């Protein structure tokens, strides 16, 4: 077995790829590919927040967020060989998996991943409890949920996960031009829905 590279995991940080973390990610992936379970745990700890946040925003507060997150991170172990250095960052690769799982779930297999659709996951707090903004945030959540899946995913990956348009296009397997068209429709649609839902609000 290959000697495990010395890596310093950053527990709880969002797993956005950057120049400083690419080497660490690559070292972890090489170790995972050689069957190193410690490197795998480090990688899971590093990326779990970003993946679960993405799934939460795509699916809402349901048990399926846990299933999608778990399945995505399990594939980091079972499909590690399919990751190729230089082709895509680890975070980009994982978000691509999560994106495909979420789209599959939303389109055709709402009951296939788990039967516990109505069971909420336990959270420390509620995302809609920002003081004085409950109504606005509920409208936003509804407007996001009403967006077509690909538009929602593109907007989440761009705004919250911080990926570039090129990276998102790569994840969604479309051209950058097509992605930019999707993003423009998403922002336009979100704004229109918020104005329609709450005509007295500023947006």
Contact positions vs another protein (CB under 8 A): 37, 40-41, 44-45, 48-49, 52-53, 56-57, 65-66, 69-71, 73-74, 77-78, 104, 109, 112-114, 121-128, 130, 133, 136-137, 140-141, 144, 158-160, 165, 180-181, 183-185, 187-188, 190-191, 194, 202-203
φ, ψ at 71 (rounded to 5°): -65, -40
User: Based on CB atoms, which residue is closest to another protein, 40 or 83?
Assistant: 40
Per-residue burial over 66-79, b if 16 or more Cβ lie within 10 Å, else e, is bbbbbbbbebbeee
Please report how close the Cβ of residue 87 comes to another protein at its closest, in angstroms.
23
Residue 13 three-state SS: coil
Task: Tell the smallest beta-carbon distance from residue 185 to another protein (Å).
Answer: 8
Closer by beta carbon to another protein, 112 or else 148: 112
**Taking Cα atoms as reference points, which of 157, 178, 181, 152 lies closest to residue 167?**
157
Contacts of 176 (CB under 8 A, 6+ apart): 165, 166, 169
d(CA 98, CA 30): 21
Least distance (Å) from another protein to the CB of residue 89?
A: 19
Which residue lies nearer to another protein by CB, 78 or 118? 78
């Amino acid at each position: 077995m290959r000697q495990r590279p010395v890596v310093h995991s950053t527990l709880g940080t969002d797993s956005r790829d950057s120049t400083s973390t690419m080497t660490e990610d690559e070292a972890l992936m090489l170790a995972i590919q050689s069957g190193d379970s410690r490197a795998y745990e480090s990688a899971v700890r590093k990326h779990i927040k970003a993946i679960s946040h993405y799934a939460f925003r795509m699916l809402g507060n349901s048990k399926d967020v846990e299933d999608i997150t778990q399945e995505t991170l399990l594939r980091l172990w079972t499909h590690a060989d399919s990751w190729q250095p230089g082709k895509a960052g680890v975070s980009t690769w994982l978000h691509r998996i999560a994106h495909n799982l979420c789209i599959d779930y939303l389109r055709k297999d709402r009951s296939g991943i788990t039967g516990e659709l109505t069971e909420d996951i336990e959270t420390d707090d509620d995302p809609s409890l920002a003081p004085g903004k409950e109504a606005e945030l509920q409208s936003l959540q509804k407007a996001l949920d009403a967006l077509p899946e690909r538009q929602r995913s593109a907007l989440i990956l761009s705004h919250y996960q911080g990926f570039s348009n090129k990276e998102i296009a790569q994840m969604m397997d479309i051209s950058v031009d097509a992605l930019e068209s999707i993003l423009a429709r998403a922002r336009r649609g979100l704004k229109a829905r918020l104005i329609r839902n709450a005509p007295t609000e500023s947006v």
